[in-house]
Amino acid sequence: MSEDKIIEEIQRKKKLLKLDGDEILRNAGRMKFGEKSLELLRRALNVESLGAMPFSLYDAPPIIESAGEGALIYDADGREYLDMMAGFSVNNIGYHRPEVLEALIEQYKKISQYGEMLNETRIKLSELLVKITPGEPPKKVFYGVTGTDANEIAVKLVRSYTGRPYIVTHWGDYHGRSIGTSALTSSFSTWSQTYPVPPADTAVVRFPFPYCYRCPFGLNRDNCGMICTNYVDYMLRSSYYGLANPSKGLTNVAAFIIEPFQSAAGYIIPPDGYLEELYKIVKERDILFVVDEIQTGWGRTGKLWAVDHYPGVKPDITLVSKSIAGGLPYSAVVGRKEIMDSWGPGAYSTTFAGYMLGAAAALKTIEIILNENLAYQAEKKGKYFLKGLKDLEEEHPIVGDVQAKGLYMGIEFVSNNEKKPAEKETRWMASRLLQLGMLVKRSGYFGNRFALSPPLNITESQIDKAIEIFDRVFGEAEDKFDIKR
Ligand SMILES: Cc1ncc(COP(=O)(O)O)c(C=O)c1O
């Protein structure tokens, strides 16, 4: 391709992706945003990049000002929203918990941050994390700030420990969007959105996630013979995949770094038996098994960790973040001592890693999660929520599939009986729900799923109300887009 052609292609792609600020404002007017929200949105559009996340979720983004009890959020005009996102699964314990506030004040009075130095609060947190994360003791901790950090740390650590370059992950997993972690995250938004920046790490190999509703191999779960794990086994058995030379007992793979359930891809849960089988294949070859529990952890799925649903699976390393610290940024890599101690001092560093204020928030947040048994609450409330969603699936042809574990719930939308992904309909419903007072996250391989992750202290009456609003909006979408069974 000539240089001119390449520039033309870049410009064409950028044009396709570009948003129009005036249109966002018009959408906000059409969606009847309140006056203060409209005014703040106008100001934001003057000074905030249109590449920011809020502009991608709805036809116009709400201006979030405060939170209420359970799963309630309020905008700048005081309008109430049912919260089905928990700030991207960050607020499992709910909002403004007085115990966390008190812990923050106490810590802030002492010190909030000092380089990446140790203090007693942080050490207590490490002692707790090694006890409650999955995997065999003895374990140790390495801190980051964001989920992306945790993944970057894991990639460097497993390579340094094993002396092998390759990382294997699922297509469709989400592990962050830095230049490094973009190689692990294969979604449209990470690669095409910033075109022509390619993922920088080439020693990453991917295999399909078991998205059984739309099996990438075109099979059905009843008779697929678990082709997805067979495929992984094949990749590692044949020297022609470049990952191993089995006849010499060699492998180039440092680790599998995977999401146990796929979150950003739309809350997709693998079939029973999958994770155990994958783990077995990996461990038979003495490869490290790293689970990214950043979104699935802290009770969300009805157990403290998603891998707790599969007792035989003992990760070498677990990555945690999001709901760890009551809404403050914090992340940790927790792994077997031998691995964690294998690299030199200061091997990775970021100024706020392990900061004291966050450690105090994390200690208190984890105490709440454990003491209030939020995993059990998620399991119980998840069952109640799922019953409502299953009723809606029966009633509404637009609902193709519902998957849930605890309060980790994915809904897939279709526009006909051949399971055609209802992409534009899903986009429309997300904005309509916003207008009616509900925040949902639209996602999915085909942009046709809602990923629901309310705070785990959501009340039954809030769940009832959510089902009622869904019922209304699904019906409206079916009428508007003429969707019938
Ligand atoms: C599973 C998973 N891993 C990693 C990340 C990246 O975390 P962060 O956005 O805090 O960098 C996310 C974020 O959504 C995630 O869901």
**Ligand 1 lined by 323 (C-beta under 6 Å):** no
Residue range(s) defining the domain that contains residue 337: 98-371
Pocket test for ligand 1, best of 155, 170, 174, 268 (most atoms within 8 A of CB): 174
Nearest ligand 1 atom to the CA of 259 is 1
- Tell me, what's the pLDDT at 1? 66
Q: What is the CATH number of the domain that holds 129?
A: 3.40.640.10
Boundary-marking domain end, from 333, 356, 371: 371
**Rounded CA separation 97/117 (Å):** 27
Q: What's the confidence (pLDDT) of residue 189?
A: 67
Is residue 227, in this structure, part of any structural domain at all? yes
Same-domain status, 54 and 125? no
Last residue of a domain, one of 321, 353, 371: 371
Residues 274 and 159 in one domain: yes
Whether the Cβ atoms of residue 119 and residue 111 lie closer than 8 Å to each other: yes
Claim: this prediction has a pTM higher than 0.85 = yes
Report whether residue 259 contacts ligand 1, using a CB cutoff of 6 Å.
yes
Q: Does residue 152 have its Cβ closer than 6 Å to ligand 1?
A: no
Which residues make Cβ contacts (< 8 Å) with residue 137, sequence separation at least 6? 130
Given the CA of residue 148, which atom of ligand 1 is nearest to it? 11
Q: Does a structural domain hold residue 29?
A: yes
The pLDDT tens digits of the residues spanning 288-327 come to 999 999 999 999 999 999 999 999 999 999 999 999 999 9
Does 465 share its domain with 325?
no
Task: Find out whether the beta carbon of 292 lies less than 6 Å from any atom of ligand 1.
Answer: yes
142 CA to centre of ligand 1 in angstroms: 17
- 410 belongs to a structural domain: yes
Low-confidence stretches of the chain (pLDDT beneath 70) = 1, 188-189
| pLDDT tens-digit map of 55-83 | 988 999 999 999 999 999 999 999 999 99
Cβ count near 394 (within 10 Å): 7
**Residues 449 and 340 grouped into a single domain:** no
Residue 257 lies in a domain: yes
Q: Which of 328, 345, 371 is the last residue of a domain?
A: 371
One domain for residues 430 and 348: no
Query: What pLDDT score was predicted for residue 4?
Result: 87
Could you tell me the distance, in angstroms and rounded to a whole number, from the CA of residue 246 to the centre of ligand 1?
A: 34
Asked if 160 and 193 sit in the same domain, the reply is yes
For ligand 1, whether the C-beta of 181 sits within 6 Å is no
Minimal-distance CA residue to ligand 1 atom 8: 147
Instruction: Write the CATH number for 411.
Output: 3.90.1150.10
| 236 and 332 housed in the same domain | yes
- Any domain includes 485: no
**From the CA of 230, how far away is ligand 1's center (Å)?**
28
Cβ of 263 below 6 Å from ligand 1: yes
**Domain-located, residue 453:** yes
Asked whether residue 366 falls in the same domain as residue 378, the answer is no
Is the beta carbon of 85 within 6 A of some atom in ligand 1? no
146/203 same-domain check: yes
pLDDT at 340: 98
Give the torsion through C-alpha atoms of 163, 166, 170, 171, to 10 deg.
150
User: How many domains does the structure of the chain reveal?
Assistant: 2
Q: Name the 3-class secondary structure at 408.
A: strand
- Interior/surface letters 106-143, b for 16+ CB within 10 angstroms, e for the rest: ebeeeeeeeeeeebebbeebbebbbeebbbeeebbbbb
Continuous H helices in 95-225: 98-110, 120-132, 147-162, 188-191
Which ligand 1 atom sits closest to the C-alpha of 322?
A: 10
CB 182 less than 6 A from any atom of ligand 1: no
The amino acid occupying position 195 is Y
Q: Alpha-carbon distance 281 to 205, whole Å? A: 16
Asked if 245 and 356 sit in the same domain, the reply is yes
Q: What is the atom index within ligand 1 of the atom nearest the CA of 150?
A: 4
Q: Is the CB of 148 under 6 A from ligand 1?
A: yes
Which two tokens mark 126?
């490490």
Reference 149, options 178, 174, 122; nearest CA is 178
- Together in a domain, 149 and 11: no
Distance 328 CA to ligand 1 centre (A): 14
Q: Do 84 and 107 belong together in one domain?
A: no
376-386 residue pLDDT tens: 999 999 999 99
- Distance (angstroms) between ligand 1 centre and the Cα of 195 equals 21
Task: Tell how far the Cα of 56 is from the centroid of ligand 1, in angstroms.
Answer: 17
